[in-house]
Amino acid sequence: MTSTTTTLPAALRAPFAAGGSNAIDAALANRLLSIALEAGGDYADIYFEFRVSADYALEEEQIRTLGRGITLGLGVRVTKGDATGYAYCEDLSWEKMAHAAKTAGQIAAAGGHAPIGVAALASVSTPSFYDVPTPSLVVPAPDKLALLRAADKAARAFDPRIIKVEASFAESIKEVLLFTSDGRMATDVQPLMRFGVRATAEDAGKRQAGSGGGGGRYGLDYFADARRDAAAHGREAARVAIAMLDARDAPAGEMPVVLGPGDSGILLHEAVGHGLEADFNRKETSNYSGQMGKNVASPLCTVVDDATIQNSRGAVNVDDEGYAGQRNVLIENGVLVGYMHDRLSAKHYGIKPTGNGRRESFRSMPLPRMTNTSLLGGKDNPEDIIKSVKRGIYAKRFSGGQVNISNGDFLFSLTESYLIEDGKLTAPLKGVNLIGNGPEVLRRVDMLGSDFELSDGIWTCGKDGQSVPVNVGTPTVRIASITVGGTQA
Amino acid sequence: MSGVQVTEATIKELCDVAQLAVELAKKAGADDAEVLVRDGSELTAKIRLGEPELVQEAGSRALGLRVIRGGRRAVTYTSDLRRDSLEALCAETVTLADLAEPDEFALPPDPALLAKSYPELDLYDPRVAEVDAAWALKQAIAGEAAARKHDARVTNSEGATWSRVLGATAFATSGGFVGGYRGSYASLVVEPLCDDTTDPTTPKKRNGYWWTASRFLADLEAADAVGIEAARRTVATLGSRKVETQECAIVFDPEVARGIVGTVFSVANGSSFWRKSSYLVGKEGELIASPLVTIVDDPLIPRAPGSKPFDGDGLPTRKNVVVDKGVLGPVLCDVYSARKLGGGRQSTGSAGRGIGGNPGPTTTNLIMSAGTMKRDALIRDTKKGLYVTSLMGFGFNPVTGDFSRGAQGFWIEGGELTFPVSEITIAANFDEILKRIDAVADDLTLRSSTAAPTFRVSHMTLAGTSR
């Protein structure tokens, strides 16, 4: 048990936790799992979730809205071969829970075997990657409203051309309790916060916006570091908006691109990360299917998915199937060495689960998902990398990306980028997309900086309609050639 | 499966809960309160390679509360609808509102504007509720099987999914509005996969999809027809390649054309206007698109996917003309954004509201009017360009109108679709895109709540390989 749980006030503790108003113990879990397996399923798990969230928004220099929400529910999953039955309920009465268990179990109704027993339940020992003594939800709201005001003030003070600032703070605590028919029992308390600022600049009829923000599995101590306090995020949003006022139309066509450290990891997330989620490979729908042990990237590239990074937005003590979070090497010196697995795919490949089975909520089945995905640093001096480019693009900030798993085509959107001319950053460029093919682009990585950086925690990854918090990281990277989607042909 | 039917009694029950919560919030000290209650159930049946992969079945209920006190707002939500829990929620929400700062525009609508009655739009089909998992799986299996049988080049599958949602919505306000309605929606999507070895050094997989959806079971396309169209579309992408960077005509298939129409709304609504986050600010009444472009938002079409009888402020819904022969009409507003914009502007009855948020302008059935040209004639009329079937990414800046998206489709040469294209982007300023629409086809269908026919933009920048 971590100190996060011990210090929480009663209103933030899950009713299903020990001592709660609706405490669920191993005996009750065993009964539910038995009902789930009655029709002949191979495996079942029950996943209890309690989530309290709050959000605060400032606009036009005023605190505009405060919001709060509570979610409570149980998800029941039963598998039979590769088939999954799933049901959930929001009311933890015995009748509703038993009904959900029975409904999920129906997947095995045709061709199920005699019910198998539920193994004796034993707690999974979980590491602690986000021990937050005072979660922000415990702190009175005015302290958080002060952060919004500080960001607003700093953004406006940055430049008189800043005409508008929006700031937001979102926080949540999610408590989960999980039991599996193969005998695992796990619990975790997951704090999460995200701070965001958006500034709009106007000058001579031109308008541009910029954003800044960060967060992770922290308490308000996150803001104690002056490089990422509320004012710093405000100034960063203003800086981008002002810089973009001079932006010119971006070029169109193939050229070298230098990715700045940190946020650029989103390229990696899209270009290779999703393709290495094992469900796609199990079904042979990924272009990385059957590539294990083969060269899939430049030998400079080592890619890891690491759930163990302290307080990072993507950190996972225990995944949503009851397996401990861990560090998994996916690509080593250009060679594909591992996929990210959930229970189903690990079973298919006959290996141990990798702790990547995640779900958005009790309403969804787990899928193999990324946690904190990074391209590790190399040996080049970042300045030398920029100097090496005669004409190309320097990519600094991104709004997001997308990938087609099957053919590997990915696209990502730049919100701050610069033209590189004769080894120097010259003009800022208007918002532009980069498009490429994952494996092809990774083969074209020909310089790798020594300045590895983890992005500040802002990213959310979507897959099959499920959103989970993730993080990304990368050093400065040079890609020999990629298609830039500007308007200047 | 009659247990999942949404009945008039369910709607009444939700209305009662909503009204109770309004009362409790007033008692807790709110000047005004608005409560939205939703009850829904889902059935998802997914199969892959002929075998069930997922059957998900569940129902849920949630209540969203907004209170206003002295112009200060707070929004909360819960799935716990017991009376004592609601009392606690109301007290907490009022306390929360006191921490906000007063906003003179955050007042409830003038009670005279609230909907006194609302139309029956025929949005619910009991037959959709009667579907059970076995039947749904059978439909999905039939769709996938048809795709695999149609063409031997379909070598794998991402599966087929039959799903339905049923729901009831009730809304009550302290201004005296109370109303509720129910809806159903069913869909089937088939996703075939092909191995593409056109370039043996870099074998790829090609995916595609086709779908059918309706509020009424009888209006769904047959599963095998969906499968065959999915296979046809997927196989057609085999051998996709880049083309050279150039300026050329871009023809948008209805599947992507509707996304362009959705983008018009994102810059033509009251919220983006008062926030000055739209390049269209100040252009109402001006020509912002080609005269071939007319876009309406019509919530009152019976059986249509986006229809609704009243809006998220409790006002009657109505048909609004967003763009009339290229001229920007009054932008879509909820009560708040109309007040913020001032000048006597009124809500267009376009408020949308989620369980845990403030209302804001939204669309219902947003439709670009059909033209007169046949789609084939439009392509024949195009010398050189790209016929776009899918777009990727988020490259749109509403403040400046800069637009750049990844695209896939087919190369048009001399009025004919020639070879498939991928891994390229198309870009232009959105203002130019709308004004350069020079041909609109007659192939409009109302399968989705945002809909458009095929249309052509005379030229955009295509970024691909170097020349």
- 């904190």: which residue's tokens? A372
For residue B423, give the nearest of A64, A82, A436 by CB distance: A436
Put simply, the answer to whether B423 touches A489 (Cβ < 8 Å) is no
Is residue B207 a contact partner of residue A406, using CB atoms and an 8 Å limit? yes
For B81, the token pair is 């609808």
CA distance A287 to chain B (A): 6
For residue B56, give the nearest of A82, A87, A253 by CB distance: A87
Contacts of B461 in chain A (CB under 8 A): 252, 486-489
For A242, the token pair is 């002002």
The residue of A52, A59, A89, A90 whose CB has the most chain B CBs within 10 angstroms, and thus the best one to mutate to test that interface, is A90
For residue A252, give the nearest of B96, B245, B397 by CB distance: B245
CA distance A71 to chain B (A): 6
Name the residue type at position B404. Answer: S
Cross-strand bridge partners of residue B360: B352
Is residue A172 a contact partner of residue A54, using CB atoms and an 8 Å limit? yes
Put simply, the answer to whether B399 touches A66 (Cβ < 8 Å) is no
- Residues 6 or more apart whose Cβ sits within 8 Å of residue A27: none
- Report pLDDT for A404: 87
Put simply, the answer to whether A65 touches B74 (Cβ < 8 Å) is yes
Tell me the pLDDT tens digit for each residue of B272-286. 999 999 999 999 999
| Helix residue spans in B373-465 (DSSP H) | 375-380, 430-435
End-to-end CA distance of chain A: 59
The CA distances from residue B362 to B353, B366, B425, in Å, are 9, 10, 29
Cross-strand bridge partners of residue B216: none
Contacts of B57 in chain A (CB under 8 A): 86-87, 103
Length of chain B: 467
**Domains in chain A, ordered, with CATH?**
3-245 (3.30.2290.10), 252-485 (no CATH)
The residue of A46, A63, A65 whose CB has the most chain B CBs within 10 angstroms, and thus the best one to mutate to test that interface, is A65
What are the DSSP calls for A268-319, one per residue? HIIIIIGGGBHHHHHTT-STTTT-TTSB-S-TT--EEEETTSTT-TT--SB-
Tell me the pLDDT tens digit for each residue of B53-82. 999 999 999 999 999 999 999 999 999 899
- Residues 6 or more apart whose Cβ sits within 8 Å of residue B190: B140, B143, B144, B146, B147, B160, B209, B210, B211, B223, B226, B227, B230
CA distance B463 to chain A (A): 5
- For residues B407 and A365, what is the distance between their CA atoms, to the nearest angstrom? 31
Q: Assess whether pLDDT exceeds 70 at residue B291.
A: yes
- Report pLDDT for B1: 39
Contacts of B392 in chain A (CB under 8 A): 402, 404, 409, 411, 435
Q: Assess whether pLDDT exceeds 90 at residue B359.
A: yes
For residue A67, give the nearest of B356, B461, B462 by CB distance: B356
- For residues B73 and A245, what is the distance between their CA atoms, to the nearest angstrom? 34
Strands A424-429 and A367-368: unpaired
For A113, the token pair is 């075997």
- Residues 6 or more apart whose Cβ sits within 8 Å of residue A71: A49, A50, A51, A53, A90, A361, B79
Contacts of A87 in chain B (CB under 8 A): 56-58
Name the residue type at position A462. Answer: G
Rg (CA), chain B: 24
E strand or H helix that includes residue B440: strand B437-440
Closest CA to B368 of B270, B267, B283, B455: B455
Contacts of A283 in chain B (CB under 8 A): 48, 156, 158
For residue B406, give the nearest of A62, A254, A435 by CB distance: A435
- Report pLDDT for B393: 84
CA distance A125 to chain B (A): 30
Contacts of A65 in chain B (CB under 8 A): 73-75, 100, 358
- For residues A151 and A303, what is the distance between their CA atoms, to the nearest angstrom? 35
Q: Assess whether pLDDT exceeds 90 at residue B201.
A: no
- Would you list the domain boundaries of chain B? 2-234, 240-467
**A466 conformational bin, left if phi > 0, alpha if psi -120 to 50, beta if neither:** beta
Contacts of B425 in chain A (CB under 8 A): 252, 411, 433, 435, 483, 485
- Report pLDDT for A445: 97
Tell me the pLDDT tens digit for each residue of B404-441. 999 999 999 999 999 999 999 999 999 999 999 999 99
- For residues A453 and B122, what is the distance between their CA atoms, to the nearest angstrom? 55
Q: Quick one: angle between helices A230-245 and A141-158, nearest 10?
A: 30
For B278, the token pair is 């739209």
Mean pLDDT of chain B: 96
Average pLDDT for B233-261: 97
CA A232 vs. chain centroid, Å, equals 23
**A116 conformational bin, left if phi > 0, alpha if psi -120 to 50, beta if neither:** beta
Cross-strand bridge partners of residue B439: B456
- ipTM rounded to 2 decimals: 0.92
Closest CA to B214 of B164, B160, B146: B164
Average pLDDT for B136-164: 97
Average pLDDT for B342-354: 96
Given a cut of 50, the residues of chain A with pLDDT beneath it are: 1-3
CA distance A447 to chain B (A): 22
What are the DSSP calls for B99-136, one per residue? TSPP-TT--PPPGGGS-SS--------HHHHH--HHHH
Ramachandran angles phi, psi of A470, nearest 5°: -140, 170
CA distance B319 to chain A (A): 30
- Report pLDDT for A1: 37
For A270, the token pair is 């899209």
Tell me the pLDDT tens digit for each residue of B360-414. 999 999 999 999 999 999 999 999 999 999 999 878 999 999 999 999 999 999 9
- Residues 6 or more apart whose Cβ sits within 8 Å of residue A253: A483, A484, A489, B245, B463, B464, B465, B466, B467
Q: How confident is the model at residue B3 (pLDDT cuts 50, 70, 90)?
A: low
Name the residue type at position A361. Answer: S
Tell me the pLDDT tens digit for each residue of A420-463. 999 999 999 988 899 998 888 999 999 999 999 999 988 999 99
CA distance A442 to chain B (A): 14
For residue A411, give the nearest of B158, B393, B462 by CB distance: B393
- Report pLDDT for A126: 83
Closest chain A residue to the Cα of B247, Cα to Cα: A489
The residue of B89, B461, B465 whose CB has the most chain A CBs within 10 angstroms, and thus the best one to mutate to test that interface, is B461
Is residue B337 a contact partner of residue B274, using CB atoms and an 8 Å limit? yes
For A462, the token pair is 């979507």
Neighbours of B136 (CB within 10 A): 24
Closest CA to B74 of B93, B88, B102, B101: B93
How many residue pairs bridge chain A and chain B with CB atoms within 8 Å of each other? 240
At B96 the three-state DSSP class reads helix
Superfamily name with CATH number, domain B2-234: PmbA/TldD superfamily (3.30.2290.10)
Closest chain A residue to the Cα of B461, Cα to Cα: A487
Put simply, the answer to whether A67 touches B76 (Cβ < 8 Å) is yes
Put simply, the answer to whether A409 touches B422 (Cβ < 8 Å) is yes
Contacts of B71 in chain A (CB under 8 A): none
Put simply, the answer to whether B461 touches A252 (Cβ < 8 Å) is yes
The CA distances from residue B16 to B30, B80, B92, B108, B416, in Å, are 19, 15, 21, 20, 60
The residue of B274, B394, B431 whose CB has the most chain A CBs within 10 angstroms, and thus the best one to mutate to test that interface, is B394
- For residues B46 and B131, what is the distance between their CA atoms, to the nearest angstrom? 14
Average pLDDT for B120-132: 97
For residue A435, give the nearest of B53, B424, B467 by CB distance: B424
What are the DSSP calls for A370-436, one per residue? -SEEEEPP-SB-HHHHHHT-SEEEEEEEEEEEEE-TTT-EEEEEEEEEEEEETTEEEEEE-SEEEEE
- Report pLDDT for A6: 54
Put simply, the answer to whether A485 touches B399 (Cβ < 8 Å) is no
Contacts of A285 in chain B (CB under 8 A): 156, 158, 193, 205, 207
Contacts of B399 in chain A (CB under 8 A): 200, 207-209
Put simply, the answer to whether B395 touches A433 (Cβ < 8 Å) is yes
- Residues 6 or more apart whose Cβ sits within 8 Å of residue A146: none
**Dihedral sign (CA B152, B153, B159, B160):** negative
The residue of B201, B245, B433 whose CB has the most chain A CBs within 10 angstroms, and thus the best one to mutate to test that interface, is B245
For B300, the token pair is 């009152």
pTM of this prediction?
Answer: 0.94
Put simply, the answer to whether A89 touches B80 (Cβ < 8 Å) is no
